[in-house]
Structure 1
Amino acid sequence: MKHSDFKNNIVRGPINAWVFKFLDGYMNYLFGKSKRKLFKNHPETIVEIGSGTGANMRYLTKRTNLIAIEPNIYMHNNLKKNAVKYGINLEIKTMVGESIDLPDNSCDFVVSTLVLCTVNNPVTCINQIKRILKPSGIFVFVEHVKAKEKSILAYIQKILHKPWHWFFEGCHTNRDTKSLLESAGFNTLEIEAYNLYSPFIPITSQIRGKATK
């Protein structure tokens, strides 16, 4: 890791951990309905890419086994607290989504919410998700995406990208995640595109859905 990357991590890591904890209730208001629908009837064990502070635990059945892929160590304390609060059996793996140390064809259910925008190599991360999924395993997602070309929102995404990218640990305001998922070769793919209106204007263009291996 370069010195500049290390310095950024020790500055942004604690800030982002605090921000996500502070916004927890509001994010539940924005995304709760979608997530409850996507997570419905989830299996006993799930893998979550980028678990953050554990905001999604409230949508899981008690005693669910959660394998949390979370590279930001400053998120881990709140992850553990939320696991106790919601009765979740937690295993934290401090690694990035592009390099997951789980066996091939070993997972029934993988979750990603507002994470594929932040990984350095989304194609590699999606391929890792496919790799660890069992045949007919399910991947559910909620992600913000690139806005329609030449729209006002696309212009806003462009001008705010650099400061947004720095503050939110590498988040891309205008990543075309929808196209990446469509070209990933999943056996089935259901995507719903929509606008989620909130004060966070750069991320109002969103998708949600599920894929099977």
Structure 2
Amino acid sequence: MNVQQILNKANTYRNSYADSDKVDWIDAILKQIYQEVPHEAVPYSFQTVSGFAYYPLPEDCDLLGIKEVTIETQAGSGKFVKIEYASLDSSKNYSESEEFFTTLERNLVINPSPDNNTEGKLIYLYYNKRPATLSSSDTSATPDLEEDFHELLVLGLKSQIAQARLEFEDASEFDRRFSGLLAQYKRRYRKNYPEYPKTKDMGRMRSKRSRTVD
């Protein structure tokens, strides 16, 4: 179903709310579903460039859904190590040479900044994606959700309408049906969409192999 078809089905429940409001509700419901059922994106890769520490994140990247970042030990080696995440709010001090990443204004920031000796390294970003934003200006758009489960958006929208109308018994019934279908979706999604394989962390492998000799 596209957005207009979802609106048409939801409008069988009496209401006088503007389509623009209802599309905003559909969009919010879709984003909530993605939080309940994380959707892993195809791993994103790029190469480091000398003098550049900031790299734009993919458009569909959920900032709260970045799972892992790995970098080649040497350009072209095909061997990777995991980079530690550093929060901008952290009180931990990092040295200029210490390897970490953070995010700033939808950019992935790599430290230390690549130079002529370290450029060309391949970086892999593993993340959960966010759905494309829905707008009342394009009701022909199809939501980023498997079509078999578009009914979730219909039920969620009906619940929002019922709550706005203070029809709490109706809202409760729509919520009950929504929760049941969402549980089915969680089970189906986890079964059909396993996580993408990650690059091997050579640093972790080395630490496992190391032994201390007294």
Q: Which TM-score applies when normalising by structure 2?
A: 0.27
* Larger RCO, structure (CA 8 Å, separation 6 or more): 2
Query: Rg larger in 1 or in 2?
Result: 2
More helix, by proportion: 1
